[in-house]
Structure 1
Amino acid sequence: MKIKETPLKDCYIIEPTIFEDERGYFYEKFNEKKFEELTGMNGHFVQDNISKSSYGVLRGLHLQKGEHAQAKLVSCLEGKVFDVAVDLRPDSPTYGKWFGVELSAENKLQFYVPRGFGHGFSVLSDTAIFSYKCDNFYNKEAEGSVIWNDPDLDIDWKLPHDIVILSEKDRDLPSFSEHNF
């Protein structure tokens, strides 16, 4: 397992060590002890979620606030997505900045998004199966969101805006400047 720092404080890209031969491949997807040693972050996850989406779907930007905040370790099990984290921690040196990484079944990368970050992804392949490991349980009352096309954030989702498919819930979210995180 290799850990790569990103421009956002406490966000990491995780590259697994893959063992391949004529039978296929094997890799360790997660090891709590190694993760904590390499990042210094808590690697205890309590909830796993899976979503399946089609090309053009954009999910986000979402977060859990307060005592229900969640760190996430995300990966794409099938297909390809562009995954985005936005630092929404007011005291952070990277507050209001975003970073994105392509996650795919082919590259097998994972992205660690710490508590206090908005998170979302856009689907770049025909379909994608996306995996989220969360370190805290979901709580509806603790939901927070920022509109995907916020002009202050200016995120490049790697999709033409006119083909983006949103849930009804994600169509009318507050802007970054309207929030108090």
Structure 2
Amino acid sequence: MAQTFLHTLFGPGARAMQAAAGSRTSYARMEADAGPVDVLTKRELDFIAARDSFYMASVSEDGWPYVQHRGGPTGFLRHIEGNRIGFADYRGNRQYLSAAHLVADDRVSLFLMDYPNRRRLKIIGHAHSSEGPADIAALMPQGYAAEPERAFLIDVVGFDWNCPQHITPRFTEAEVRRASQPLIDEIAALRTRIAQLEGTAS
């Protein structure tokens, strides 16, 4: 049975270091209060649907961790049902590192970042790829100019929200444009008004 994020990742070594640092009591209380499964709620699903990129870590056959950036249109990482999410894998450099890793070890870790609001959602789960046309079609964003090669399906085991400490706010071009548009409109209106006044004066 799937366990929570804390139950899965807090091994003996982490618990020992927490005890030495004096933080074990609070974390033990969190573990005791957690249920047997971390269930994705509307809060997590809304956050996932608003992302246009994330980072996914997998492990090679030799135990080496590998982190890959995944991107696409907003909402390309989708909720399928229950605790399952997925995304279309686009044809790229054909190294197939993530896809190959999952054959030997299906465990993955995802980092989803909201830089403007300094929020971060960490997800762990079991993943597998599918080349089935139905799976790919269900996850391929409409109108996106990329060639899908497979679908990645992830059964979420647990998740954790992080504090905003050390997350530097970053903004996309579209976000900067939306924030500055009122000022741009005001400047344009003032220029128009100045031109009108100058025309009247002459």
Fold match (TM-score > 0.5): no
Give the strand-richer structure, 1 or 2.
1
Higher-Rg member (1/2): 2
Higher-helix-fraction structure: 2
Q: TM-score, normalised by structure 1?
A: 0.29
